[in-house]
Amino acid sequence: MALVFTILQIALLIPVIGGSVFCVLCVWAARRFMKQRRLSSTYRPPVTVLKPIYGFDKGLEENLLSLCRQDYPTYQIVFAVQRTDDPALPLLRHLAEEFATLVTLVIKESPPVFNGKVQNLTNALSAARHEILIISDSDARLAPDYLSAIVAPLENANVGYACTLYRSFKPDYWWEKLELLSLNADFVPSLIFAYVTGISDFLIGATVAFRRADLEATGGMADLGAYLVEDYELGRRLIKLGKRMVLVPHVIELVADYPNFNSWWHHQIYWDQNTWAANPIGFALTILTRAVPFALIFALIRGFDPAGVLVLLAALGIRLASAAVTSAGTLKDREGIAALWLLPVRDLFALVSWYIALTRRTFVWRGHTFGLTKDGRIVPRDVDNTTASNSIAS
C-alpha cells in the first residue's frame, strides 16, 4: 500500500513540475518575442477585410467602428450575415450608409450545416475586391494602425499569412473573467512559446491576413467548411505550399461576451475541442502542464501536511507570477492582473473541460449541434438532409 501511495505521489508531481517549468518557459518566450521590433514598412496595398457576423454581440458597434476608422489609405470592409432577420442588420445597414465608399454588406440566407463561420466567409469573399484579404472576427476591437501592422509582413513573397496577438477584455461577470484568463494567461502565452521555439505552426482565425491567390491554391474558402478548426487547416495548407507565417507583436482586443455561466462553459469545451481537433497529441499532452490542479490533489492526499502545502504554494506562486508577468509585459492586461485570484479556479475548470473534450464527439455552435469525427471534420446533427444539400450547393 505504501508503494502504491508513493507511486501516486510521483505521478501527481510530474504535471506539477512540468507545468511549473512550462510557466517559466512561457515568460522567457514572451520576453524574447516582445524584443522584436514591429516591421517598419511603407507597404500599404489595397485590402479587403472580411467580417463575418452572427447576432448582435456585446460591443458590436464599437468593434465595427474601430475597423471603419483605420488609418489606412485604401481598404474595403465586407460585413456578411447568414440570416435575413439577423439582429445586427439595422446597425450594419446604418454603417453601410455612413461609410458608403468603404463598406459592402452581404446578406445571404445560409443555415449553418458545416462550419458556419466558413459559410459566412465564403459569402463575404464573393464581394471582395482586393488581392490581400484579412479575416477579422466580429468581437475584435482594433487600434487605428491594425491594418498597417498585420499587412506589413506580406511584402515578403515568402510569407503566406500574418496573425496578431489578441487579449480578452471588458469582462462583466466572474465567468467572463475566467474566459479572459483562459485567453490571456493560458492560450496566448502557449501561442507565443510555440512561435518562438518553432515547435508547432498555427493560424489564428480571429485575425489573419493572406493573399487571395494563395487561398485559391489551397482549394478555396468553401473547401475549409468541413473542418471544425478551419484556421488551423488553412495554415497547414499554406505552409504545405512552401509559405511561412509571421506573428506580429501587435495586440487586438476581443470583447468577452458570455451572458451566463452555461454559455461560457459550453464555449470552453468547444475551444478545447478545437484544440484537440487541430493537434490531438499536443492537446492530450497539455495534461502535463496543469500544475495547480495536480498540486491541489497532491496536497489533498497528503492531508495538507507541510510537504503537500509547500508543493501547492510553490505551484500557485509560479503560476500566478508567470501569468502576471506575461499579462502585464506582453498584453498590457490590467483587467487580467485584477482577476488573477480566479486563475486557480479557471485551471480547475480547464482540467474538467480537457477531459470532456477528449471524450465528447459533439459540439454546439450558435445553438446548432454538430458531430465531430476523429480527424476533426464536422458532421451535421440537427439539420435535415434537404437543408444540408441546399447549403452545400450554395
Pairing mode, if any, of strands 159-169 and 207-211?
antiparallel
Question: What letter represents residue 336's amino acid?
Answer: G
CA dist list (Å): 261 to 176, 256, 258, 265, 266: 8, 12, 7, 6, 9
Radius of gyration over alpha carbons of the chain, in Å?
A: 22
> At a CB cut-off of 8 Å and minimum separation 6, what does 216 contact?
none
Q: Tell me: the pLDDT tens digits for 227-263?
A: 878 888 899 999 999 999 999 999 999 999 999 999 9
Rounded CA-CA distance 161/163 in Å is: 7
| Residue 90: all three cell numbers together | 439595422
What is 41-278's CATH number, 3.40.50.300, 2.30.30.60, 3.90.550.10, 3.90.700.10? 3.90.550.10
Q: Please give the average per-residue pLDDT across 63-86, as a whole number.
A: 95
Residue extents of the structural domains in the chain: 2-32+280-380, 41-278
**Share above pLDDT 90 across residues of the chain, in percent, rounded to a whole number:** 66
Q: Output phi, psi for 208, to 5 deg.
A: -150, 145
**Share above pLDDT 70 across residues of the chain, in percent, rounded to a whole number:** 90
Is 75 a residue whose pLDDT tops 60?
yes
CB-CB contact of 20 with 317 (8 Å):
no
Is 391 a residue whose pLDDT tops 80?
no
Q: Tell me: the pLDDT tens digits for 302-346?
A: 999 999 999 999 999 999 999 999 888 888 898 989 999 999 999
pLDDT class of 393 with cuts at 50, 70, 90: very low
